[in-house]
Structure 1
């Protein structure tokens, strides 16, 4: 039931935007998605399963944007700048992405365990959601190094891209955690990579 699953996730995300996760009721999410409460239970197993699936969906969406940024412009510096811009804008617009990136889960948000939980779900998508959540900062750095260094690069070939990627990830995350007024993250990244 991919369509019902996505409708339920969208309804849960909309409900979360309106009220704290502890007050989101499953019956309301199901009604908003136009499905029965039983369909929600069959798909996610309960509120914890829905929370894990929702966080996984937002993490996957964020990482898809990272992949787009890294395969965009031809210059590595421009790719890293685009990645930093995507990271800061995603975190600004999405509280779940911000929490994943910073590790700061407020009482308003679902806080699923980052490690895997036992899954008895028949739905492959839920078994994946029940697996360990990605660490986007690590995945961004690792993805960026792989793209910038190229396939089959030796450890020596990845040293410089790894340092640059680490710097960019840290600059972007500092902007997410404590957004200052003024300079855009792109200006900071270009200035830091220029040195």
Structure 2
């Protein structure tokens, strides 16, 4: 398969999902929109379920890449965590799949693949990864928490300090998720201010 065709198919599936419920998205239409044959689509993803898993995996990876970028944006720990919270709230607001992954609330419009691994006979490495376990909301909270801790701690940081920091980082992620469910006043600035205030009280 030509390089980039997998991404084109995922883009086409995403565009189709924006227009209609996943249950009515047809593989033949996704293939036509991406400019490939239906057989090529099946060779790459195996099935519509495989396409759904790949779509969810890509959106999870994109969200986590944005977390890495947010954590690298500032030098101040509080601002790094505020940026991470803003990214989390904005991603969930703008991307229905990210919102579903972060909250566990999958609407009938969306694909809802099982989060556990499924048997995979795919020869495509990216599809074998998509057929593996998909992250639950708890998994994503833990991944973001652990990445934040890794960025914010230097070598030789005492374990006790790391434990406190991990609790603060997890609190930030959970605050951001609460803002997804019930947005604060002031838009994204409201999320960041909430996080800054909480971290200030915690002495971070």
Fold agreement, TM-score > 0.5: yes
TM-score (norm 1): 0.96
Q: Which residue of 2 aligns with 1:137?
A: 141
Deviations 1:98-117 (A, max 9, x none): 00000000110000111111
Deviations 1:35-92 (A, max 9, x none): 0000000000010000000000000000000001112200110100000000000000
Say which of 182, 190, 194 aligns to 2:196. Answer: 190
SS at match of 1:54: helix
Gaps of 5+ in 2: none
TM-score (norm 2): 0.92
CA RMSD of aligned residues (A): 1.3
Q: 1:150 to 1:133 in 2, by over 3 A?
A: farther
Gaps of 5+ in 1: none
SS at match of 1:167: helix
Q: In 1, distance between residues paired with 2:35 and 2:13? A: 12
Q: In 1, distance between residues paired with 2:153 and 2:161? A: 6
SS at match of 1:86: helix
Q: 1:161 to 1:26 in 2, by over 3 A?
A: same
How far the C-alpha of 1:154 sits from its partner, in A, is 4.5
How far the C-alpha of 1:142 sits from its partner, in A, is 1.2
Q: In 2, distance between residues paired with 1:178 and 1:20? A: 25
Instruction: Tell whether 2:160 aligns with 1:160.
Output: no
Q: In 1, distance between residues paired with 2:159 and 2:114? A: 33
Q: Which residue of 1 aligns with 2:112?
A: 111
Q: In 1, distance between residues paired with 2:61 and 2:143? A: 11
Contact 2:22 2:109 in 1 (8 A): yes
Q: In 2, distance between residues paired with 1:87 and 1:56? A: 16
